[in-house]
Chains A and B, each alone.
Chain A
Amino acid sequence: KAGVTQTPRYLIKTRGQQVTLSCSPISGHRSVSWYQQTPGQGLQFLFEYFSETQRNKGNFPGRFSGRQFSNSRSEMNVSTLELGDSALYLCASSPDGPGGYGYTFGSGTRLTVV
């Protein structure tokens, strides 16, 4: 079966712009969670969506937002980009919630802010 698909794989944006990243979960998975990975901070939890509702949110500013559609696909948006937002953004899907049985990561979107 198809894995978790993230698009685009690479993205270069200018400071102050906004960006939207997409994540298509494994078919049947209702939970999609988003993570930021940087060399300095490692992996950090952004938020999790389940059945179109945000169930939990990590400690990130309001510039980071997301949504989930009825087909479980999710998007993450970052507004007013800062240089420090340069990172690998990963999403993961599972049937029930972060880390649940079947928890599977996508390959990530590498965002560079210049």
Chain B
Amino acid sequence: KNEVEQSPQNLTAQEGEFITINCSYSVGISALHWLQQHPGGGIVSLFMLSSGKKKHGRLIATINIQEKHSSLHITASHPRDSAVYICAVSSGNQFYFGTGTSLTVIP
């Protein structure tokens, strides 16, 4: 049983498309994180959310605490957005990860 489920696993989009990645979790959380991992391993923390919505450039993250669900949206996608996007939740002092969504944006 996975505490964090992500969908889709793989996503291919044309440049300029609007992209949505979904994350559902089953544990009580103090925060939810969206991470971006580029080929080569480096991980960047994109957002930390405990409620509502956050926006950074073309990226938008939302969370619904009652439904235990979060979405990451990318507007006007670009090939440089190609990466693996990972949803993670903080629960107590534990940290649970989704399996990631591999996004490829084609020019």
**A-to-B contact residues, CB < 8 Å:** 33, 35, 37, 42-45, 48, 55-56, 58, 88, 90, 92, 97-101, 103-105, 107-108, 110
Contact = CB atoms under 8 A, between A and B. Distances in A.
B31 interface: yes
B100 A99 contact: no
B97 A42 contact: yes
Contacts of B98: 42
A58 B94 CA distance: 7
A108 B38 CA distance: 12
Nearest to A90: B43
B57 to A, nearest CB: 19
Interface of B: 30-31, 33, 35, 40-45, 48, 86, 88-90, 92-100
Contacts of B89: 99
Question: B-side binding surface: helix, strand, loop or mixed?
Answer: strand
A64 B35 CA distance: 25
A32 to B, nearest CB: 13
Contacts of B90: 97-100
Contact of B92 (A44, A56, A88): A56
Contacts of A44: 97
B41 A56 contact: no
Given A105-B43, A110-B41, A99 B99 contact: no
Nearest to B29: A99
A104 B33 CA distance: 12
Best-surrounded residue of A35, A55, A90, A98 (most CB of chain B within 10 A): A98
Nearest to B42: A107
Contacts of A33: 95
Given A90-B43, A98-B93, A107-B42, A42 B99 contact: yes
B93 A55 contact: yes
B48 A103 contact: yes
B52 to A, nearest CB: 16
Nearest to B96: A45
B61 to A, nearest CB: 14
